[in-house]
Structure 1
């Protein structure tokens, strides 16, 4: 097994990679290879597979394992590889994590199980049991919109003291939550705090976040890397200009459809139109049809990314 290059804390842009598909249970292998090189070519600092943007809960286990194997082999240690192991089954989460470690992944990412709601003491106990079985360092994943469970700041504080838990990916869209987390963790500088909502990337990094796990970096990785770098340097003029691009993406590509699935559909549609990979989406969703595709095509022609 190769030596991990995972730094503590993990900093920078760690795109939550989409999962290129040909149909319900077939990877778009050629598209996957092109997508990985497209993302890494943008100078990102890591890669996260089998998250929300990767449609993990909708994928068969066979497909998840194939994705882990192919991605790990291609990335080959060029950046840290994080693998989502969230599942409703404790045992399946551990199996995914063990396989990921065998294939060379650097860390696992775990959200609360997403069917039964847990109280905070139950969540702490559950994650404590998981860490005893894990062969990899662990990032917590706060995604209350999908899991129905919010990781309270106090819960994160307790779990941050577990040696195997090294960071948090927060997708709550709650900046008050972020400020509380940062204040409570000020004595633990090796614990990474990464934000998911890209509209908050600039603000959060300026205020102490370690980076972003931003879906738009599937399409335009260099944009998000440049915005992160400008925020770290506190180059406000550059931050303002690049942040406008991120907001433009949010208000166009992510806002074309009528439902919450529009973000994922928009990213996959854009990547398809860019010639990177197939835009098939696993059920219960479907890819954009011709009217929406033409809208996305128009938006892509108007978005000028020159970083």
Structure 2
């Protein structure tokens, strides 16, 4: 069942689902099915595949198509499915969006094409043309650390006038930028403003944001759903308690080693320890070695978030 997200604006926790692989050529369908059920049981409000946490740039188009079809079938309309179509090729983005439409996805998400930095006019032209030709609604994805291009406040405001552009996922990590968006859209609640860095989730929702695309929800979905609900209802004591658990995950799981992909290595290793996938990362990324995995095995049971999940 495809939802009309123009009438039902996206809100809540929409995990960027990790892509579980057996190797570089095979999707782990058994593990993916288990992970999807885990997310749904945790109460998430949507699922976002083929984002940064989903290793979107490192897996083949064949695997991307398989993942889109498999995920939509497994979710079976229970929550919206968003498909990442970010690519250096405009036409490959359109092709992936077509796969999403045919599979029953609800929307697509796109960051600016990476490699070449784009000028403001080029960004506007690109996203307008993309939104015109896409078969599904579009959410903008601001990820300047990976794309070289920052979606300015003015650009987002202009693009938001397009009827097929429904919201923004901001992974810039800049609180001032996100707050400026909240102010700019204060009278337009139908345009969804979602934050990427989970460390910022509570504060952004308290200020009027609509939710988060939180990678840690792959591990403990109910923790992030509960934090969102606490912030959305203004339960500050509960926000403070749950925020501490989220920060503990960030400090103990995402910050091991000095890799640009440390967060992803830590996340996938932790998922493996919890029984979701084998920890494999698509080439050229590599999984943690045994010593680091052992450290995570020892650390996970000590995390407050781990104990929290066991009591819910």
TM-score range, shorter chain: over 0.9
Task: Provide the rounded CA distance (Å) in 2 between the counterparts of 1:222 and 1:175.
Answer: 25
Equivalent residues of 2:98, 2:135 under 8 A apart: yes
Task: Provide the rounded CA distance (Å) in 1 between the counterparts of 2:276 and 2:56.
Answer: 20
Partner residue, 1:249: 249
Partner residue, 2:85: 85
Across the aligned residues of Structure 1 and Structure 2, the Cα RMSD in angstroms comes to 1.0
C-alpha displacement of 1:29: 1.1
SS at match of 1:56: coil
Task: Provide the rounded CA distance (Å) in 1 between the counterparts of 2:260 and 2:115.
Answer: 19
Partner residue, 1:200: 200
Task: Provide the rounded CA distance (Å) in 2 between the counterparts of 1:21 and 1:137.
Answer: 28
Task: Provide the rounded CA distance (Å) in 2 between the counterparts of 1:137 and 1:101.
Answer: 10
Task: Provide the rounded CA distance (Å) in 2 between the counterparts of 1:82 and 1:243.
Answer: 26
Task: Provide the rounded CA distance (Å) in 2 between the counterparts of 1:274 and 1:38.
Answer: 11
1:1-307 map, 5 Å: 2-4=1-3, 6=5, 8-303=8-303, 304-305=307-308, 306-307=311-312
SS at match of 1:257: coil
Normalised by the length of structure 2, the TM-score is 0.96
C-alpha displacement of 1:271: 0.8
Equivalent residues of 1:33, 1:74 under 8 A apart: yes
Task: Provide the rounded CA distance (Å) in 2 between the counterparts of 1:209 and 1:20.
Answer: 30
Equivalent residues of 2:160, 2:166 under 8 A apart: yes
Higher RCO structure (Cα 8 Å, ≥6 apart): 1
Moved more, 245-254 or 24-33: 24-33
C-alpha displacement of 1:5: 5.7
Equivalent residues of 2:2, 2:80 under 8 A apart: no
Equivalent residues of 1:5, 1:80 under 8 A apart: no
Normalised by the length of structure 1, the TM-score is 0.98
SS at match of 2:66: helix
Task: Provide the rounded CA distance (Å) in 1 between the counterparts of 2:93 and 2:233.
Answer: 38
Q: How many residues align?
A: 306
C-alpha displacement of 1:109: 0.2
Equivalent residues of 1:9, 1:210 under 8 A apart: no
Moved more, 158-167 or 251-260: 251-260
SS at match of 1:141: strand
C-alpha displacement of 1:187: 2.8
C-alpha displacement of 1:286: 0.5
Task: Provide the rounded CA distance (Å) in 2 between the counterparts of 1:26 and 1:158.
Answer: 41
SS at match of 2:82: strand
Question: What stretches of structure 1 of length at least 5 have no aligned partner?
Answer: none
Deviations 1:239-262 (A, max 9, x none): 000000000000001112221211
Equivalent residues of 2:13, 2:228 under 8 A apart: yes
Task: Provide the rounded CA distance (Å) in 2 between the counterparts of 1:69 and 1:176.
Answer: 38
SS at match of 1:254: coil
Question: What stretches of structure 2 of length at least 5 have no aligned partner?
Answer: none
Equivalent residues of 2:42, 2:220 under 8 A apart: yes
Task: Provide the rounded CA distance (Å) in 2 between the counterparts of 1:207 and 1:3.
Answer: 30
Moved more, 292-301 or 236-245: 292-301
SS at match of 2:57: helix
Equivalent residues of 2:167, 2:193 under 8 A apart: yes
